Amino acid sequence: MKIVVTGSAGFIATNLIPRLLDRGDEVHGVDNFFLGKRSYLEPLRARERFTFYEFDLLDLDRLVKLFESVQPGRVWHLAANSDISFGTKYTDFDLKGGTLVTYNVLEAMRRAKTPEIVFSSSGAVYGEPSVMPTPENYGPIFPISLYAASKVACESLITAYAHNYEIRSWIFRFGNIVGPNPTHGVIHDFVLRLRENPRELTILGDGTQSKPYVYIVDCLDGMEFGQKKAREWVNCFNLAVDDQTTVTEIAEWTIEAMGIDRGSIELKYTGGSRGWRGDVAQVKLDTRKMTALGWKPKLSSHESVRRTIRDVVEQFRNGPLA
């Protein structure tokens, strides 16, 4: 199948694309390197059936031309501003980089008659729900960050396009996804900061923030599984694990994995119950809709975090990658 992957130099995409290519799919990737990395993309560029296009998805004309020439059978729409804290500084960041980009992708799909979209949403759409673990049909949803507000808007655009233009869609509301090729996030930040200064580590909030961490292989298995099994016009799933890991646990395990003497390092908490404005500090997602279909993650949250710390310490052994 011909597939367009947006955000193709990012964390999730650079783990996904090798799987698609191994299966014989023809992949067309788009990224503007806003957060994506050239070094993660490099091994893919040598592969047959992979073509990369460097441009900003806000350029609708370019996107429409690409879709009209490729005629893809499916889009994996993964591009977004994935760093939630940006939206607190620049209030139109997620509006443009999330919502408008998604509109452009859907519009290019409509014009080229692309029949399927797989979308990476987030458990952040629920805001601070009164029901935990939170199921997919919880509502009304009131997001507390501009990032999450944009994800809700993207989901709404997708469902409207799905019903108006017969575009089948799969929306996955992720927990925190972790694994090799990180571009941002708590493990990425801790490993890089501890390399710089193994005597002190600043931790945002009070360290009790607790979230379900999903290993990238489980995430991709889950998305592919859901995409094959669920055949409504709109299919929406939480994609998470049932346990949660705290930020302090992640800090302690990173220090241990880097061989830093615990007695010689000070943990400095910035305080408050959240990491940043808009951070949902306690997340529990109900995964029964996915597990009822037959999907089960192989790793728990704790295992996913420990494994990722090993992956990232190894990957950043010589410093951050370009």
Ligand X SMILES: NC(=O)c1ccc[n+]([C@@H]2O[C@H](COP(=O)([O-])OP(=O)(O)OC[C@H]3O[C@@H](n4cnc5c(N)ncnc54)[C@H](O)[C@@H]3O)[C@@H](O)[C@H]2O)c1
Residue 218 CB, shortest distance to ligand X, in Å, is 12
Degrees to nearest 5, angle at CA 134 with 129 and 139? 60
Contact 236, 136 (CB under 8 A): yes
Pairing of strands 210-211, 245-246: antiparallel
Which residue lies nearer to ligand X by CB, 251 or 285?
285
Degrees to nearest 5, angle at CA 273 with 271 and 277? 90
Which residue lies nearer to ligand X by CB, 81 or 114?
81
Residues 6+ apart with CB under 8 A from 22: none
Which residue lies nearer to ligand X by CB, 9 or 112?
9
Q: Name the residue with the smallest CB distance to ligand X.
A: 10
Residues 6+ apart with CB under 8 A from 3: 20, 25, 26, 27, 28, 72, 73, 74, 75, 76
Which residue lies nearer to ligand X by CB, 36 or 127?
36
Binding site for ligand X (CB under 6 A): 7, 9-13, 30-36, 56-58, 78-80, 82, 97, 101, 120, 122, 174, 176-177, 183
76 φ, ψ to 5°? -100, 105
CA-CA distance, 182 to 315, in Å (whole number)?
Answer: 10
